[in-house]
Amino acid sequence: MLKIAVLYPELLGTYGDGGNGLVLAERARRRGVEASLELVAMRDELPAADVYLLGGGEDGPQRLASDLLAHNGFVDRVTDGSYVVAVCAGLQILGRTFCVDGNDEYQGLGLVDVVTRRGEVRSVGELCVRVGEQLLVGFENHGGRTVLGEGVAPLGRVLRGRANDGEVDGYRTDRIWASYAHGPALAMNPWFADEILGTVLGQELDPLGTAADLLYARRRQILTAGLAG
Amino acid sequence: MGTRLTARENLAVGALRSVNWVSRVTGRGAGTVAGGRVGLRISPNLLAVLTRDRTVIVVSGTNGKTTTTALCVAGWGGDVTTNATGANMPAGHVAALAGSHSTHVVLEVDEAWLPDVLDAVTPKVVILLNLSRDQLDRANEVRQMSERWRSSLASPGADPVVIANANDPLVVYAALDADQVRWCDVPTNWTLDAQSCPRCTRPLEHSPSGWSCTCGLATPEDVTTSLNGELTVAGEHAALSLSIPGEYNRGNAAMAATALREVGVLLSESIPRMQSVTGVAGRYTVRSWQGRQMRLLLAKNPAGFDALLSTVAPEPIDVWVAINANIADGRDPAWLYDVAFEALKGHVVWCLGERRLDLATRLDYAGVEYRIVEDLASLPATTQPVELLANYTAFQEWMARSAPC
């Protein structure tokens, strides 16, 4: 049984981020893998899970989510081997510090050597990122400027949009995928959903061939139009 | 209009009317916003000038603005000045005000513009319907909107009667420091944006009797208006029967009736008049397109869509859904994952609009049967009316494409 837990969708679910959990569960089931999808609310105890998902949120809720995660055993779960998919505010929370209410610095979980400051302008718009041989397409909407520590690998290189700093997007560690592509990024990028799923399950996955593939092809075509290379 | 205008203001009103006339006769626009912009450029305080000595009701919120405005206009009765659909920013307001002399005014106001409009206009009544996520690529954060409303309504000098939805924590917080508030207990299903306290961010407790936070913010108890089978406003009772569908529209009518009582209209007068509202700018009405009959339903955001899904007939009829992501829609259709499309299981959903593939993917993961419509000619002939749910610009496209029955 693959256990997927979406953490605090009421705090970190501003942009339909809960969709990512649904996508992982459905894509597992369609390959005959039993999967459970749990939405963990603020008052719930943190359940054991193979993969946790963190979404985007506004300043106040982001601060609250960070506090909850610092005291509910989440860090131990991740150190013990759970995987994490984090977008937007979730990406910032896993780092050392982030900014709320203007430029107030707030303590993150420190799972990754990453610092997020307030960007000069808000980053709102289409996002396209080269991740290895693949392209990640999506939409970003955040006010952060994220700086990766020495030795922290980005998830990919930005072709369109701003993401961390206009150069790179998110970060990738053994157990964490983090991106500024918010909302249902896994719905729009079936290859990315399968890369995560394949890693968590420890197996190679064949493509499914669903509407998501048509969507990905269309968005990829639109977002790469006019881009060199 | 009893108001004396200065020469400059007169010039502004004249210019506004000419531009709108040109816009209408040349067919370039509906003739509402362009002239308003010109008028405001000549005389920036035109909105204040044109509402002086008039009794104004202002309607704002994420969902239900246009319908509630229409219900207020109908319920008031007689000659009422109101802005045209979609023209809910100051340019649209001044255009409407310059085009009519009635002293009774109902203005629909875009949420983000409410503080500016309250600054310029001294309304008698302000209706705050609800606040939820909508076009986040433009408005960013809904909690900030609530905070902006609050500081605007708390500022001294502005003392309208605020008609506020008691079941929406973001609205309650916004109205908290206003001088005079009439709380309304009306159906409010969408609470996803109000799980953490608007004041202190701690988790809100939700129970059948309401919501509360440890900081003390809670569902107001002293409600003026309630809707339990019949409508009660400040002790006056009335049976509420409307010509438009949906539980949420009963709530809109209740708040409209509460506002009208503040300008001296009793329920016994306003409620019967509201029945004349059968459709609002094409919404809810049955239209025809290429031999098919369709009921056009507009939803612009997850809360609106969720409410609409509850009105789709349970029979296994075909449902057409059209989704665009133009600027007016919000360019990011991520919100599709906040809508419980699972409710459409058992129907076949035909996916239309520029973002039909995003919709199809969403439906695929929801386990709902879908067809992607690459060419409108491939839409099936139907004998029974189709339900067509569309977001903003997709709705406008289908309004233009179809004709009244």
Q: Each residue of B83-113: pLDDT tens digit?
A: 876 688 888 898 888 888 899 999 999 999 9
Give the domain extent around B395: 286-404
CB crowding A15-35: b at 16 or more within 10 Å, else e? bbbbbbbbbbbbbbeebebeb
pLDDT value at residue B1: 47
- Following CA atoms A184, A190, A193, A199 in sequence, which dihedral angle do they give, to the nearest 10 degrees? -170
Average pLDDT of chain B is 87
Domain boundary among B245, B274, B303: B274
- In terms of Cβ atoms closer than 10 Å to its own Cβ (0-12, 13-18, 19+), residue B57 is buried
Q: In this structure, are B41 and B107 located in the same domain?
A: yes
Is pLDDT at B206 greater than 50 in this prediction? yes
Which of A6, A14, A213 is the mutation pick for testing B, counting most B CBs within 10 A?
Answer: A14
**B393: helix, strand or coil:** helix
Contact call for A61 and B196, based on CB within 8 A: yes
Q: Do A187 and B331 count as a contact with CB atoms less than 8 A apart?
A: no
B374 touches chain A (CB under 8 A): no
Whether B226 and B310 share a structural domain: no
Cα dihedral across residues A110, A115, A121, A125: positive or negative: negative
The answer on B234 and B331 residing in a single domain is no
Q: Tell me the β-bridge partners of A52.
A: A5, A84
The encoded tokens of residue A127 equal: 């996002």
Domain ranges for chain A: 2-224
Nearest to B335 among A16, A23, A215 (CB): A16
Contact A10 B361 (CB under 8 A): no
Distance CA A72, CA A171 (A): 24
Final residue of a structural domain among B249, B274, B299: B274
Q: Do B364 and A61 touch (CB under 8 A)?
A: no
Specify whether B145 is located in the same domain as B265.
yes
CATH of residue B384: 3.90.190
Residues B260 and B304 in one domain: no
Query: Is there a single domain that holds both residue B266 and residue B183?
Result: yes
Q: Tell me whether residues B361 and A60 touch, CB distance under 8 A.
A: no
Residue B29: inside a domain, yes or no? Answer: yes
Chain A touched by B205 (CB under 8 Å):
no
Cα B86–chain centre separation? 10
pLDDT tens column, B59-69: 999 989 999 99
Q: Which range is least confidently modeled, A70-74, B10-14, B52-56, B246-250?
A: B10-14
| CATH 3.40.50.880 applies to domain A2-224 | yes
Q: B256 with B293, same domain?
A: no
Which among B57, B106, B102 is positioned nearest to B85, based on CA atoms?
B106
pLDDT tier, B26 (very low <50, low <70, confident <90, very high otherwise): low
Residue B73, in any domain of the structure: yes
Does B29 score more than 70 pLDDT? no
Q: How far is B370 from chain A (nearest CA, A)?
A: 10
Domain count along chain B: 2
Together in a domain, B340 and B224: no
Res. B382 pLDDT band, cuts 50 70 90:
confident
Which single residue is written with the structure tokens 């340019």?
B91
Q: Which two tokens stand for residue B5?
A: 């205008």
The pLDDT of B36-42, averaged and rounded, is 74
Q: At what angle do helices B33-42 and B90-98 cross, to 10 degrees?
A: 90
Q: Does residue B2 lie in a domain region?
A: no
Query: Same domain, yes or no, for B320 and B255?
Result: no
Q: Are B187 and B161 members of one domain?
A: yes
At B117-142, the pLDDT tens digits run 998 898 999 999 999 877 655 555 78
| pLDDT beneath 50: ranges in chain A | none
B98 lies in some domain: yes
Q: What's the pLDDT at B405?
A: 82
Residue B84, domain CATH? 3.40.1190.10
Answer whether A218 sits within 8 Å of B357, measured CB to CB: yes
pLDDT the model gives residue A11: 85
